[in-house]
A and B are shown apart, each in its own frame.
Chain A
Amino acid sequence: MLPTLNGRIQTRVFVLLVVGGLWTLLVSPLIGQPYGVTFVVLLAVVVLGVGWELLYHLIQQFRWEKDWPTLFGLLTAVNEGALLWALISAGAVPGVPREVPFGAFLVQFLSTWIIVWLVVNGPMRVPFVHWRFRGGRLI
């Protein structure tokens, strides 16, 4: 990926809400969680993500190529997932009860992450031909 800061944020919000949203509709019944909970989790990934993107952008500045390797896009699931789970366990995510089972969280979070990561690393370019040349900006 070759994101700009603005492009990162736009891509994160758009793909998580659209692709992640559709996936959440499907996965929630499978993991036995109400939509009220899974959608708040999704929203939390979006909101926290904007902060994370700032940090990633800073790290990117140390790279000569100013790129964001595909692997980073996958591995950042670890830090983001860990922080989110910590916040949920601390009861700091409004609308998500502390006693959400870890397994359910993990399945939702990881499956959404992987789907979103796959989409932005290829299929996204099909409907949006300009997107990859504009640092991930959609508007």
Chain B
Amino acid sequence: MRQDTIRLPGPAVAPDPGPGAVRPGDLTPELIATDWWSDDAVSRAGIPVVDVPFVSVGGGIGSFVTVDYLRICGVPTSAIRVLTQLESPWESYEYLTRVSQIPRGERLRSDSASCPDNIWGFPSYAVREALATRSPRSLWNVLVEPILADYYTPKAGQAFESMEREHDRIDYASTVVKGQVRMVRRRVGGGYFTILIPAEGTSPTRRVAYRSRYVHVAVGYPGLKFLPDLMEYRERHRDYGSVVNAYEPHEQIYQRLAAAPGTVLVRGGGIVASRVLQRLIDDRDARGLQTQILHVFRTFVTGAHGPHVWMRRRGGDGWAYQGFNYPKSVWGGQLKARVRKLEGQERAALYAQFGGTNTPIRRNWQEQLRRGRRERWYHAFQGEITGLTPGPSGTVHAALRTANGPQDVQVTAVIDCTGLEADIREHRVLADLLDHGGAGRNPLGRLDVERSFEVRGTRSEPGRMYASGSATNGGYFPGVDTFLGLQIAAQEIADDLEALGFCARLGPVRSTHQWWLWARGRKI
């Protein structure tokens, strides 16, 4: 992983053997150079082979919901292996939400029926919350949203706890093998080899090959990057504590602001910025702090925007407002049906229209920012940071280019809330698929998948390779990088596998029966 990439849970990328240093059980130059591997070549290299029908690479929430779906469609745990470096499917996700100010007690950004523990989305989180708390509040919320109330969203803790129950119910743990995946290659004669670097001390060889008919790739973010200006400041001035990205642990900044009054510069117009502002203002309110907040938007939205009356998004005070990261109907309705038919540039153009940086309009956030503007401790403006240099006594000096000309400010800290997702090539497994696996890019430059989530160009009859999650954004279905999107992908994959005879069809009878087992918490 490169220096400019934010460290996520899991070990760093394990290096390949240098020339001449190849030991038995390791990748050989021959293997590295060939696109299609024969059983012979793998055995000549001394790499042990494990046979299993279905392999999922990643082991995050994408793998979890896919395995959940397949288990419900009757696939036994013995037919599935999840190759992962995570302790639990939600480890990486929980890390990202926690540092970006969504601890277990705070609410997420997906709706009541986006339940990664329940493929039916029924009973939804709101119903379950109402039952657990014996309060009709959450039910009232889903009844009147988004007209009379903000969209209901579940607490992070509810999502984690319910996933844990489902994890145990389907015996997910039996499918897990710990280690880092190096590559997936097509096999001569059909199917794939997935090369795993097993966790330390679990295998006599440095590599193990999983030979499977089906492979599912769900490796999450190819990488979350620091913006170049932030990198440059940190490296040049060896100051890693006062200029941070919100996806890094940055508690020290809130502590410094609590210890002495200060000004903080927040950059970005997405939900992470909203969260960070909320944390700053909550601290201000709870502890009587005097924190001043400067908030810089690259694009300052002043009102409703969009190409025509049929496509207008709300906005104002700098923000573009939208309940979820795309308009809601991409997860099931009109926009889902529409994008499914679009190719190439047309698809990319529609993504551009309803994507972009945005944040939900939430009443408590609105109230806090309105108060901040009125009391003049919150200042939002359009601009760009043109330079960062150390200021006196631990402060940071930021030069800004704004609509009113250049401006210099001195702040305690800079919190960058712009997430820049790395190119898919920065992920070694994905790069290998582009170079040796036959995979290509979609109109947004990500991994090109079919409507079934099969990775286009990678077929190795009778095998199939699928991918889901952020790496596939830009395909026939937007919203892939969400709980519900991952479940929609899982459904498409299961439907395809059912047609190939790998799992049972989830028709009304099986579905209702399986739901009943779920509702009673019966292990399957």
Contact = CB atoms under 8 A, between A and B. Distances in A.
A49 to B, nearest CB: 18
Contact of A129 (B147, B322, B491): B491
A68 B332 CA distance: 12
A123 interface: yes
Given A2-B328, A135-B332, A130 B491 contact: yes
Given A2-B329, A60-B334, A65-B328, A132 B146 contact: no
Contacts of B314: 64
A71 B322 CA distance: 19
- Measured as residues with beta carbon below 8 angstroms from the partner, the interface class of chain A is 20 to 34
A132 B337 CA distance: 12
B240 interface: no
Interface string B97-138: 000000000000000010000011111100100000000000
Interface string A1-42: 111100100000000000000000000000000000000000
A122 interface: yes
B119 to A, nearest CB: 6
A64 B313 contact: yes
A103 interface: no
A74 B121 CA distance: 20
B511 A71 contact: no
Contact of A133 (B122, B148, B336, B509): B336
Contacts of B336: 2, 133, 135
Contact of B310 (A7, A61, A70, A133): A61
Contact of B332 (A61, A122, A123, A134): A134
Contacts of B407: none
Interface residues of B, number: 42
A125 B113 CA distance: 10
B154 to A, nearest CB: 16
B334 A122 contact: no
A135 B120 contact: no
B365 interface: no
Interface string B472-501: 000000000000000010010000000000
Given A70-B143, A126-B515, A129-B511, A65 B506 contact: no
Q: Majority SS of interface residues in chain A? A: loop
Contact of B306 (A64, A127, A130): A64
A67 B306 CA distance: 17
A69 B333 CA distance: 12
B340 to A, nearest CB: 10
A70 B145 CA distance: 8
Contacts of B329: 2, 65-67
B387 to A, nearest CB: 38
A102 interface: no
A16 to B, nearest CB: 18
B146 A69 contact: yes
Given A64-B313, A129-B491, A129-B506, A2 B123 contact: no
A129 B306 contact: no
B366 interface: no
Contacts of A123: 122
A65 B313 CA distance: 8
Given A128-B511, A135-B332, A64 B122 contact: no
A133 B334 CA distance: 10
B511 A66 contact: no
Contacts of A60: 334
Interface in B303-329: 306, 309-314, 322-323, 327-329
A66 B332 contact: no
A3 B331 CA distance: 11
A64 B142 CA distance: 19
Contact of B334 (A2, A62, A70, A125): A2
B162 interface: no
Given A64-B312, A65-B323, A126 B337 contact: no
Given A65-B323, A71-B143, A135 B511 contact: no
Given A64-B322, A70-B142, A122-B122, A132 B127 contact: no
Given A62-B309, A130-B491, A69 B145 contact: yes
B121 A125 contact: yes
A129 B488 contact: no
Residue in A1, A2, A123 with the greatest tally of chain B CB atoms within 10 Å: A2
Interface string A111-122: 000000000001
B203 interface: no
A67 B324 CA distance: 12
B144 interface: yes
A132 B121 CA distance: 10
Nearest to B506: A129
22 contacts: A2-B328, A2-B331, A62-B310, A64-B311, A65-B328, A65-B329, A66-B327, A66-B328, A66-B329, A67-B333, A69-B147, A70-B143, A70-B144, A123-B122, A125-B120, A125-B122, A126-B512, A127-B511, A134-B332, A135-B332, A135-B333, A135-B337
Interface of B: 113, 119-124, 127, 142-148, 306, 309-314, 322-323, 327-329, 331-337, 488, 491, 506, 508-509, 511-512, 515
Interface of A: 1-4, 7, 60-62, 64-71, 74, 122-123, 125-130, 132-136
Closest 10 interchain pairs by CB? A2-B333, A127-B508, A66-B329, A2-B332, A65-B328, A66-B334, A67-B328, A65-B327, A122-B122, A2-B329
